[in-house]
Amino acid sequence: MLKLSKFYFPLFICFLWWFCAEFQLVNSFLLPHPQSVFKAFWMLLENGILLRHISVSLGRTFIGFFFATVTALGLAFLFYALPKTYPFFKTTLQFIQHIPPLAMLTLLILWFGIGESSKLVMIFLASFFPIFINTFNGLNKCDPKLIEVGTVIPMSRKEIFFRILIPATLPYITIGLKLGMVYAWRSLIGAEFIATSTGLGYLVLDARELSRTDIVMVGLLCFGLIGLLIDQFFSFLLSKFPYIIERNFNGLH
């Protein structure tokens, strides 16, 4: 019953949308009928346009997110291993963190052109800091006593890294990845403002220019549903980590 309760409010919103559109309480241009939106969705799905735009958007997001993940994790572990180096970069990183990637759009176009590079850099900037900050905090919160025990047993540096440090930091890394992916996905429409002819962001912008609010709604619903699936995937991963941590730490007791 509790699991079903999370669908009550979305169903109520859908009913309210249908009610307002059916009885013309709102101008159909501002709020298209659900049936019109479904017809537009089916048309775009049938001719392959929607899947093409989704695949391009997902591709951009995952490429930018991948490079952000590799860089953020690498820097977090580097600063943890060499703590005296972090103060030299801390202020610069904090400064860049507070600049919205969308505000850098003009500069990114000048620096990287209107091709894929500028879009990927924007997605990279949006997702880098949540991953880096959560991973670095997780590493610093790892109980020093566990590392001490691993040293006494004795365990090699490789074993301490993979059996103690990584399992203890995994929940923080996953939260960072989850937030990073959310920011990457949200920044996508901003990235696709840059001259492009593919992607969900382009689909929404093109539909707006053509006054096709039904297609705009299709694009927004796709953004929301795909984002929700990504969020649920990372939530599932987080739910599995207590077992992973327990299994790895059992050998230390």
Condensed to tens digits (0 to 9), the pLDDT of residues 188-204 reads 887 887 767 888 988 99
The answer as to whether 157 is a domain residue is yes
Give per-residue pLDDT as tens, 21-77: 888 888 888 889 899 999 999 999 999 999 999 999 999 999 999 999 999 999 999
DSSP string, 166-226: HHHHHHHHHHHHHHHHHHHHHHHHHHTTSS-S-SHHHHHHHHHHTT-HHHHHHHHHHHHHH
Specify if 27 maps to a domain: no
**Cβ-count burial 24-35 (b if 16+ within 10 Å, e if not):** eeeeeeebbbbe
d(CA 16, CA 141): 47
Q: Which segments of the chain have a pLDDT < 70?
A: 1-4, 195, 240-253
Q: What is the pLDDT of residue 95?
A: 93
In a domain, 47, yes or no: yes
* pLDDT score of 241: 60
Q: How many domains does the chain contain in total?
A: 1
Sign for the CA dihedral angle at 190, 196, 199, 202 comes to positive
22: in domain: no
Domain hosting residue 116, numbered range: 33-252
Tokens of 84: 């005296």
The pTM assigned to this predicted structure is: 0.85
Q: How far is the C-alpha of 136 from the C-alpha of 123, rounded, in Å? A: 21
What integer pLDDT is reported at residue 115 of this predicted model? 82
Residue 249 pLDDT = 47
23 is a domain residue = no
Give me the pLDDT at residue 75, please: 95
**DSSP characters for 53-99?**
HHHHHHHHHHHHHHHHHHHHHHHHHHHHHSGGGHHHHHHHHHHHHTS
Model pLDDT, residue 114: 80
Q: State the CATH number of the domain containing residue 219.
A: 1.10.3720.10
Q: 25 in a domain, yes or no?
A: no
Which pLDDT belongs to residue 85? 92
| Position 67 in a domain | yes
Residue 146 covered by a domain: yes
Residue 119: which of 56, 39, 173 has the closest Cα?
56
- Residue owning tokens 């989850």: 178
- Are 107 and 125 contacting, i.e. CB atoms less than 8 angstroms apart? no
Biggest CA-to-CA distance, the chain = 74
